[in-house]
A and B are shown apart, each in its own frame.
Chain A
């Protein structure tokens, strides 16, 4: 076709010309593309990893979105729980050059893969920008959630693109109760607080066609292994395991330092068109009732009405996945169901998912406050059924108190003198 004819017809637009021009000029912001690209690449690269989980979770899409919300909220808790666990400084010198890469970075991006037995592999793309801004896009088999953290304000915005909903979380009133050094958020920022010295040199190894050197740092049940390029000392891979999440491993790769990251990526303002999740989490009033709700929520979702085997992040995550599996039992596509009944049940399922996520989050946040050595925290709920009124399932001594708070299997709670809490032998049996 001749150029002349093409031009002639473009000229024929008349009144439409300005509008066409407006469409052509309406381009997305650079940061938006960057985000979309990372999500796409994550989805493509992760499609084989998640395929098994996708098959397991195959069911109503709408229902899965609801549980994605719950899982997404739990992911935020992971970031916090793991991030708020402080590092101790240790001896060693060679490792300092590795740590310096994290400390001196103005911005950082990486891929984070969380793995655990009995859990789906969860992939996240993380971007960090000083001071204390982090954006984490978590890719689930059934969608993705975006969490934007701001430690300068101690606030988090959780976005659920599939349903165009958001949740805001504010930890600022929670902070005074936490140690001053607990300000690192999530895995990536915690890398900046690694000690200057590694506990062990792991030697040289071949990884993805390049020679790498390994360093192991251990502290208080936390193990971090960093692999760096043997020639350039660029960080290639970091693997972490935490005491709070036994059996789980986080692998960080694809590190990039000082890349341009637009401030808009870290905005705490929900995008236009997003609506607030019905359930919003108020973290300013955490108390023991939050722990009770967590325990009740868990037991009520368990087919045998049992309490969790342990109260750590791994168990919590497994619980969330388990609830997701049981959710697919509801058949929203049943032809005999009327449309309105379907809508009603769908809404109820969404609400249930949101509440479950909220109960897990608040409960774990409260636990974080009382799991200090001075609170003598104990959990003995494994194998105990909801309603067993005579069995203590957990106990702790609140700050400044002479007595313990004990929660029983019927979720009643009472003050108990130190001599009346379960004996050392009973504790050993329980733990």
Chain B
């Protein structure tokens, strides 16, 4: 490793490492995996620098690293989901889990887990664009530039991604303000009301 590269990389890690870690954590939902993603992002960058990419080739390091982190984390999420995936459909598995322990699942953290799991079932590019838009607050134009698609394509992909996620998740959740409740929980509560009557 060239000394200049090492120093530059350390500077970037110091400045943007936390952001990369937070981005990866939002997608993966646990610190160990987020740390793996953090290291992968920076070590991959190092190997690129040792290859052809020049350190000064990137205009906006913040955006570049956030996109890299999101991409790396989503790839990890998909791999993890593939390992877990059985013959059951996603909604079947989610539904089963909800029946087993509805109270536990009704937590915010569990809502986040459900969305992450559903996200892993989307096509790669759709998931990346969804995560950049809704987890990272990237504007359409920025997403278009980073993902090398047109702005209108971003809109179409997001529309498709939301629909697909709703299809997966709606069978197990019911809308409730401000958060979301699981269908099994709602059913249980309505059952309780009836018995009281």
Contact = CB atoms under 8 A, between A and B. Distances in A.
Interface of A: 1, 3, 5-6, 9-10, 12-29, 32-33, 35-37, 39-41, 43-45, 47-48, 51, 161, 164, 271, 273
B180 A19 contact: yes
Interface in B137-177: 139-141, 144, 151, 154-155, 158-159, 162, 165-166, 169-170, 173-176
B32 A15 contact: no
Given A22-B109, A22-B111, A33-B18, A44 B13 contact: yes
Interface string B14-43: 100110011001100111101100110011
Contacts, number: 140
Contacts of A14: 162, 166, 175
7 contacts: A9-B159, A22-B180, A23-B26, A33-B21, A36-B17, A41-B14, A45-B6
Q: Which 4 A-B pairs have the closest CB atoms?
A: A1-B140, A18-B180, A18-B179, A19-B115
Contact of A37 (B18, B151, B154, B175): B18
Contact of B170 (A6, A15, A29, A39): A15
B135 A24 contact: yes
A28 B162 contact: no
Contacts of B31: 28-29, 32, 36
A21 B180 CA distance: 10
Given A19-B112, A37-B17, 20 more contacts: A13-B134, A16-B115, A18-B111, A18-B176, A18-B179, A22-B108, A23-B116, A24-B26, A27-B26, A28-B34, A36-B34, A37-B13, A39-B35, A39-B39, A41-B10, A44-B10, A44-B46, A45-B10, A47-B46, A48-B1
A6 B111 contact: no
B32 A23 contact: no
Contact of B139 (A1, A25, A33, A37): A1
B135 A15 contact: no
B17 to A, nearest CB: 6
Instruction: Give chain A's interface secondary structure class.
Output: helix
Interface string B104-117: 00001101101110
Interface residues of B, number: 54
B178 interface: yes
Contacts of B144: 1
Contacts of B34: 28, 36
A15 B179 contact: no
A28 B26 CA distance: 9
Contacts of B165: 16
A16 B141 contact: no
Contacts of A161: 32, 35
Contacts of A32: 31
A21 B155 contact: no
B63 interface: no
A366 to B, nearest CB: 35
B22 A26 contact: no
Given A6-B140, A14-B175, A43-B39, A20 B13 contact: no
Nearest to A32: B31
A165 B139 CA distance: 41
Given A1-B141, A39-B35, A164-B32, A10 B6 contact: no
A430 to B, nearest CB: 46
Contact of A9 (B22, B133, B166): B133
A39 B140 CA distance: 34
B9 interface: yes
B114 A13 contact: no
Given A15-B166, A15-B175, A44-B46, A26 B108 contact: yes
